[in-house]
Copies of this chain bind each other. A is one copy, B any other.
């Protein structure tokens, strides 16, 4: 493996560690490597990653942590093309040009139209050596949500399902109960920390009254946005979702136009989006969520919501946690009778044993 691939590989590994902490910015990891003129001796002298809530950027952190010496070559490695647009501060390209960095090697072009090749060409024009498209297939997987957000204007959609061996998601229709084990619950909370937002249907609010936050000690601040699809806004105003937990935004999509109903749940932590019947479609809703910067969306049910997302072919990934026992046909089905197409197929990308349960990840076939 050549040197550049080696460092991008390290970056790809580290990138997974900051998942979910950089919203609304994409998580980026950068390394600065010091080499002699012949690239015989090389060492990492600094690193940086996108900080909480997106600032400062990875490249800025890496540069500020490095000491530059004469007679050495400095390569800045990054998972993503450095930004060239003024955001909440000086752009990374400007910072690189001010530093002693000689080479910039990144994995993929930034799909954001404000950068998308422009960062690269400014660096080149200023005499820096630039290389990219390294391990890009792997890195693209990590950035899939961000790429979708910037190119097809919707988040990456992951269904999370907890069920019995025979795929029942509850004992009886509408009855809350715990099918999977405690370790699965912890894993789910960990996923919540890694996702930008969780979406559920209004029924789920009424039946399960979920908090939809991350309750792992120390990671509560990574709780995601909470999204509810409620056509008629008929849920209890004491619902957990309406409490100002973690001060994270809750976005409620509704068809309801009654001012009285709306007033009842209005609050600064809530965004109520009224759509008319024609616009109350999943693709419009996903498009709205993309505008909020949401790149990775976790759907936590129930069966009506699962079925709708699958029917509209808007599911990229499915995570299935299965228990170690059966429920039988009295239990509630994973999908409703309205599930349409049997053509959509997935492939199993990973499987593991979670104590006496299992976890399976399915990916949509491209």
A334 close to chain B: CB less than 8 A = yes
Closest to A336 in B: B329
Asked whether, in the complex, the Cβ of B346 is within 8 Å of the Cβ of A165, the reply is yes
Give the number of residues in A that approach B within 8 Å (Cβ atoms).
40
- For A314, what are the chain B residues with a Cβ–Cβ distance below 8 Å? none
A326 close to chain B: CB less than 8 A = yes
A34 close to chain B: CB less than 8 A = no
Asked whether, in the complex, the Cβ of B307 is within 8 Å of the Cβ of A328, the reply is yes
Q: How far is the CB of A173 from chain B (nearest CB, A)?
A: 11
- For A346, what are the chain B residues with a Cβ–Cβ distance below 8 Å? 165, 324-325
Decide: A358 near B353, CB < 8 A? Known: A327-B342, A337-B330: no
Asked whether, in the complex, the Cβ of A165 is within 8 Å of the Cβ of B362, the reply is yes
Asked whether, in the complex, the Cβ of A325 is within 8 Å of the Cβ of B342, the reply is yes
Q: B325, B335, B337: which contacts A345 (Cβ < 8 A)?
A: B325
A362-B357 Cα distance, complex, nearest whole Å: 11
Asked whether, in the complex, the Cβ of B351 is within 8 Å of the Cβ of A356, the reply is no
- For A316, what are the chain B residues with a Cβ–Cβ distance below 8 Å? none
A292 close to chain B: CB less than 8 A = no
A320 close to chain B: CB less than 8 A = yes
A339 close to chain B: CB less than 8 A = yes
- For A343, what are the chain B residues with a Cβ–Cβ distance below 8 Å? 325
A333 close to chain B: CB less than 8 A = yes
Decide: A342 near B326, CB < 8 A? Known: A166-B167, A166-B333, A358-B351: yes
A348 close to chain B: CB less than 8 A = yes
Q: How far is the CB of A186 from chain B (nearest CB, A)?
A: 19
- For A338, what are the chain B residues with a Cβ–Cβ distance below 8 Å? 328
A255 close to chain B: CB less than 8 A = no
A343-B164 Cα distance, complex, nearest whole Å: 12
Asked whether, in the complex, the Cβ of A326 is within 8 Å of the Cβ of B353, the reply is no
A66 close to chain B: CB less than 8 A = no
CB within 8 Å of B: which A273-325 residues: 303, 307, 310, 318, 320, 323-325
Q: How far is the CB of A64 from chain B (nearest CB, A)?
A: 46
A39 close to chain B: CB less than 8 A = no
Q: B307, B320, B328, B358: which contacts A165 (Cβ < 8 A)?
A: B320
Q: How far is the CB of A363 from chain B (nearest CB, A)?
A: 10
- For A353, what are the chain B residues with a Cβ–Cβ distance below 8 Å? 348, 351
- For A67, what are the chain B residues with a Cβ–Cβ distance below 8 Å? none
Asked whether, in the complex, the Cβ of A166 is within 8 Å of the Cβ of B335, the reply is yes
A344 close to chain B: CB less than 8 A = yes
- For A362, what are the chain B residues with a Cβ–Cβ distance below 8 Å? 165, 324
Asked whether, in the complex, the Cβ of B344 is within 8 Å of the Cβ of A335, the reply is no
A318-B328 Cα distance, complex, nearest whole Å: 15
25 contacting pairs across A/B (C-beta < 8 A): A165-B167, A165-B320, A165-B346, A166-B333, A166-B334, A167-B167, A167-B168, A167-B334, A303-B329, A324-B345, A324-B347, A324-B362, A324-B365, A325-B346, A326-B344, A328-B340, A329-B335, A329-B337, A330-B337, A330-B339, A345-B356, A348-B356, A351-B351, A351-B353, A358-B360
